[in-house]
Structure 1
Amino acid sequence: MLTTLKGRIATLLLCLAFLLAMLAGRAFADEEQVWAALKQGGKVVLLRHTHVDMREGIGHLAPENCKEEVNLSPRGVEQAKRIGEAFRAHGVAVGEVLTSPYCRCIDTGELAFGHATPVQYLMPPGVLSDSQAKLNRERVLLDIRNHRSSANLVMITHELNISDIVLEPSIAMGDFFVLEPDGTDFDVIGKVRIAGR
């Protein structure tokens, strides 16, 4: 009995050591390293829209009638502007800015980068059928893997879309991840949180 218990403890400790080693290997670069990587170009930025006041109707989409949607709060407007300022201050070139068709995502892109192109496949999965959500995820992954440009591609979307790709359970509004594609896959370089929220 004692031998079996010791064996189980040893197995658990080995599993724990393996898990810690895996997590250490996935550790993100610090923010200055992330900015330096972005400055090189060719990266993909996955950005969650900036701050909104959560309330009923968050999933309601009203094309060309933003008054009916949940929109950026004054804090979210300022946050989006700060994101754009941070990209400019770090000398980071931004090419295409793709966004979910929700006004809060489009506005984040326009306030931060001066332009935004809404695309259906960046919609949140919770408002779609399972099959459409799966197709959208595959399209996003394809765009990430195939990104080839000296400029950085920005994709502004929702928490669930981002967490599903970077395997991070919770992403605050306005946070973004930087990915480095290689044609067949991508590496997550790191995460940036703009200060002063």
Structure 2
Amino acid sequence: MGITVTGAVDVFSLKPLTAEELTAGEKANADFRDTLNSKQLLTELQKGGYVIYFRHASTEKDYADQVSATMGNCSTQRTLSEKGWQEARMIGKAFNYYSIPVGEVISSQYCRAWQTADLAFGRYVKNSALNFPKAEDYTDEQLAMMKTQLMPMLTKLPPQGMNTVIVGHDDLFEATTGIYPDPQGMAYVVQPDGAGGFRLVANMLPSDWIDLNR
């Protein structure tokens, strides 16, 4: 469960990246260690009380489309690949198999996010607060805005006995936590503390969910 990174890959050169070449967010993702083992995490999730933040499942290509994308028009955006469709369905099957209770399912307005939510959970509510700013290089103000928009969702306690699912993007999560969630489909399990804060207890690849009880 989770990930162990010995060398990330530069998708343009296909050369392994050394630790020195990772960004701070990528390094934080690589260095993250779960605080619960698989069975403990399953038990906790079955009780409810967590927020699960998913980066959308895999897309056909990986490129920045936040400037050119038009909400409501999937042809202007990156869309899920066949692999992404399979990842999302696999996540949903695992949640059903293990009877992990899900309350709210919140998605950005990007097609790849709400499609991930729909394939995995069969329902979602779009929230523009999960969208990217229309820029490729963010200003300090835009980074602060992303954190301001996401923090209330990560710190809000779910209804008793339920978990909240958020399907969003990499940059908002990094702006809020300092962690760049990679690869696509990566999820972080968040435990709100009820006092405006939270802790991260685990990260999960799409293929990790079905193995929770092993």
Residue 129 of structure 1 and its aligned partner are, at CA, apart by 6.0
> Whole-Å Cα distance in 1 between the matches of residues 111 and 142 of structure 2?
21
**Structure 2 residue corresponding to 1:192, chosen from 204, 207, 210:** 204
CA RMSD of aligned residues (A): 2.5
Q: Which residue identity lines up with residue 154 of structure 2 in the other structure?
A: I
Partner of 1:158 in structure 2? 169
List gaps (5 residues or longer) in structure 1.
1-23
Residue 93 of structure 1 and its aligned partner are, at CA, apart by 0.9
Map 1:76-87 → 2, pairs under 5 A: 76-87=84-95
Map 1:104-123 → 2, pairs under 5 A: 104-123=112-131
Map 1:54-69 → 2, pairs under 5 A: 54-56=61-63, 58-59=65-66, 60-69=68-77
Partner of 1:29 in structure 2? 36
Alignment coverage as a number of residue pairs: 173
From the superposition, tell whether residues 69 and 26 of structure 1 become closer, same or farther in structure 2 (CA, over 3 Å).
closer
Q: Which of the pair has more CA radius of gyration?
A: 1
From the superposition, tell whether residues 93 and 170 of structure 1 become closer, same or farther in structure 2 (CA, over 3 Å).
closer
List gaps (5 residues or longer) in structure 2.
1-30, 209-214
Secondary structure of the equivalent of 1:195?
helix
Partner of 1:124 in structure 2? 132
Residue 125 of structure 1 and its aligned partner are, at CA, apart by 4.8
Secondary structure of the equivalent of 1:162?
helix
> Whole-Å Cα distance in 2 between the matches of residues 117 and 133 of structure 1?
24
Residue 92 of structure 1 and its aligned partner are, at CA, apart by 0.5
- TM-score, with length taken from structure 1: 0.77
Percent identity between matched residues is 25
Q: After TM superposition, what 4+ stretches of structure 1 lie above 4 angstroms from structure 2?
A: 24-27
- TM-score, with length taken from structure 2: 0.71
Q: Which moved more, 1:72-81 or 1:146-155?
A: 146-155
> In 1, are the aligned partners of 2:91 and 2:206 still within 8 Å (CA)?
yes
